[in-house]
């Protein structure tokens, strides 16, 4: 069995979009994870979810891997993007749309605009 860092690297390189979260995309188990999963789900982004609550090695390992102390953590094309506050900010500013476009990630632009309108 590979160590946590190897498993994390494998997961983020094999999947275009990965969310390390508490719970799952259909059953988030914390408000911050729920918010990021909700944004991705609403925008129709296909992503791989990793429930850190089921694996202590991954739960601590992802914090070490990204050098970021909190969960959730979003990765796009193998790169750490941020946690809940950063993703929320990027969604509202349109930066997340730009990142998805640059990386060739399919998402619903109309849904992204609805999020911005609702939070204007």
Residue 84 annotated as binding site: no
Q: SS3 letters for the chain?
A: CCCHHHHHHHHHHHCCEEEEECECCCCECCHHHHHHHHHHHHCCCCCEEEEHHHCHHHHHHHHHHHCCCCCCEEEECCEEEECHHHHHHHHHHCHHHHHHHHHCCCCCHHHHHHHHHHCC
Output the known binding site for [2Fe-2S] cluster: 30
Output the known binding site: 30
């Amino acid at each position: 069995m590979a160590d946590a860092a190897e498993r994390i690297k494998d997961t983020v390189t094999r999947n275009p979009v990965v969310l390390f979260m508490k719970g799952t995309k259909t059953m988030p188990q914390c408000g911050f994870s729920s918010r990021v999963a909700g944004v991705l789900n609403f925008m129709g982004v296909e992503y791989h979810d990793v429930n850190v609550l089921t694996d202590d090695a991954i739960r601590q390992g992802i914090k070490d891997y990204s050098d970021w102390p909190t969960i959730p953590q979003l990765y796009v094309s193998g790169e750490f993007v941020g946690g809940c506050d950063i993703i929320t900010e990027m969604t509202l500013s349109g930066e997340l749309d730009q990142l998805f476009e640059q990386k060739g990630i399919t998402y619903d632009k109309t849904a992204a605009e609805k999020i911005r309108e609702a939070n204007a």
